[in-house]
Amino acid sequence: MTTAGGPDERWRRLDPRTVLVTAAVMAGVAGGAGLPVLLGLAGSMPWWQALGWVLAGALVLIAGGAGADWLRWRRTRYRIGPERAELHTGLLLVKRRSLARERIRTVDLTAHPLLRILGLVKVRIGTGEHTGGGESTLELDPVTRAEGERLRRELLARRAAGVPEAERDGTLAALDPRWIRYAPVSFVAPLLGGAAVGAVMQVSQWFGVQTQVIDWVGERFRDTPLLWTAVVLAVLALFAGIVGALGLWVEMWFGYRLEREPGGTLRVRRGLFTSRSLSIEERRLRGVERVEPLGVRLFGAARVDAVATGLVEDDEDGKADHRTLLPPAPGPVADDVAARVLREHRPPTSTPLAAHPRAARSRRLRRALAAALAPVLVLVVLGLSVTDVLLYAAAACAAVSLPPAVLLALDAYRSLGHALVGDYLVARSGTVRRGTVALRRGGVIGWTLRQSWFQRRAGLLTLIATTAAGDGAYPVYDADEHEILDFAARAVPGLLEPFLERPGGRNEHGR
């Protein structure tokens, strides 16, 4: 894209093989939709006639999709100038988008299996700004892999001032196949199990055999008590979910590698069928978060997410996690990667944190008990007014829900903590999803103080650090109201002091 004389500002086209990719995708769609249609039509006309109608419809669908994509290819062009990246596209409604190169923060490469076979990639160039309609993103779909790599290197080229060359680049982490053992204990497994059951029922409905499937299952468990039937079906669904979680992990993290490239860019590469290359400029990094979902945490593992500006996800890729630097891995590995990413000798996320007052524990216990007892009370009321059987259900519900609620509340209290570690503000909270964030103090642009009536009575205060990176706000829940104000003043001197009241009702400005 560049030459010795400077950037090549010629308008360029996307790769013409995009039409072939679209035709192949539409053929797959036509095949998937055509089979149930063929079975439906075969019941009312000769099979050869039904097949002819299905093939004719498939050809129209494939030709229409390929023709529309050919028009898109003909009307799409882009160029990278010395100051701006530009994209022109559209037939009836012409769209012209232009991004200032100095504002470009991400250049991500993605390739599904068809693109990989043809040596193509989809390039998404973004500024990371929260704007509607995709004005902050240019998408080149597709270009050759070589062109995509060249665009990524050129548009993210930065000088990492003050960083020795030896510390600038290299591999920070690579995939260890043993990490797959954390996939079955994630929340994905039960969700995939439920999805598998739903898929079986949906497909059987398409083919008109849903009743037969239900009858077949009923025959298998005809002499089995209802409770054991439910347990066996739940175990089978969970097993299917575990298999799905293992497959999803392999697809997402195969070939994973975290690298630091010359110029101060962190690059994550991963994916089996769909390859992904995600880049994060280090100068946009404001910290890291050590994330420990409950199941993963029970096995001593954690993942590492980046807290950085310029990582806004469009609606199209809303399910893609652009912030994950390390998949669930053993705790020491996560701490080591966090330290390497931040260029620290010790990870701030592993430092001992200040405990919160016991009043914070009482608040969590009360809320957990209220949530667990609410359905019990409903069952008791219904049991007294409708049938005594519901009273037994209420007792069973209380026996099942109260112990876990108390344990989770105590764990949530033990998870609370905060500290100042060098240049970082560290805060931890959560139980089902415990997160420990190490946020650069220079990245805090404001404070939000929240105190409910109950917190005021207990002498507690929630302090929220506002930043332009990551989630945008990182709270310190239910801390001592006097200690946490001093903590905020020490974390970012001069930001909170003008609003603090001093003895005599005067603030820092004597008002």
Q: What 8-state DSSP symbol labels residue 179?
A: G
Of the listed ranges 80-89, 194-203, 482-491, the least confidently predicted one is 194-203
Fold for domain 165-175+254-350?
Answer: PH-domain like (2.30.29)
pLDDT at 132: 52
Which letter does DSSP use for residue 91 in this model? S
Q: pLDDT at residue 509 above 50?
A: no
For tokens 């997402």, name the residue.
252
- As given in the structure block, the two tokens for residue 281 are 């400029």
CA distance 86 to 76: 11
For the CA atoms of the chain, what is the radius of gyration? 28
DSSP-derived secondary structure letter, 256: -
Instruction: 442-449: list long-range contacts, CB under 8 Å, 24+ apart.
Output: 443/286, 443/287, 443/307, 443/467, 443/468, 443/469, 444/491, 444/492, 444/495, 446/495, 447/488, 447/492, 447/495, 447/496, 448/473
Alpha-carbon gap, residue 148 to 80, rounded angstroms: 12
Pick left, alpha or beta for residue 470 (phi over 0 → left; psi -120 to 50 → alpha; otherwise beta).
left
The whole-number pLDDT of residue 57 equals 84
In the chain, what are the domain boundaries?
2-155, 165-175+254-350, 188-247, 358-410, 416-499
Most confident listed range (209-223, 255-269, 277-291, 423-437): 423-437
**pLDDT 10s digits, 87-114:** 998 877 788 888 888 888 788 899 999 9
Tokens describing residue 12: 């360029």
Cβ atoms of 314 and 134 within 8 Å: the answer is: yes
More confident residue, 58 or 435: 435
Confidence class for position 169, pLDDT limits 50, 70, 90? low
Is the model more confident about 315 or about 472? 472
Greatest mean pLDDT range, 155-159, 235-239, 248-252: 248-252
Contact 3, 9 (CB under 8 A): no
- Tell me what pLDDT residue 35 has: 72
- Residue owning tokens 């990278």: 80
Yes or no: domain 416-499 corresponds to CATH 2.30.29: yes
Name which of 109, 117, 142 is nearest 18 in CA terms: 142
For residue 475, what pLDDT is reported?
Answer: 94
Q: Which residues contact 206 (CB under 8 A, 6 or more apart)?
A: 36
Q: Say if CB 62 and CB 27 are below 8 A apart.
A: yes
CA dist., res. 289 & res. 351, Å (int): 13
pTM of the predicted protein model:
0.82
Q: What angle in degrees, to the nearest 10, is found between the helix axes of 18-42 and 47-74?
A: 160
Give mean pLDDT, residues 201-222: 73
The model's pLDDT over 344-385, given as tens digits with 9 standing for 90+, comes to 989 999 889 999 999 999 999 999 999 999 999 998 888 888
Q: What is the mean pLDDT of residues 48-63?
A: 83
Cβ neighbours for 10, distance < 8 A, ≥ 6 positions apart: 79
The yes-or-no answer to whether 165-175+254-350 and 416-499 have a common fold is: yes
pLDDT of residue 319: 41
pLDDT at 263 > cutoff 80: no
Q: How far apart are CA 252 and CA 254, in angstroms?
A: 6
What mean pLDDT do residues 255-265 have?
A: 88
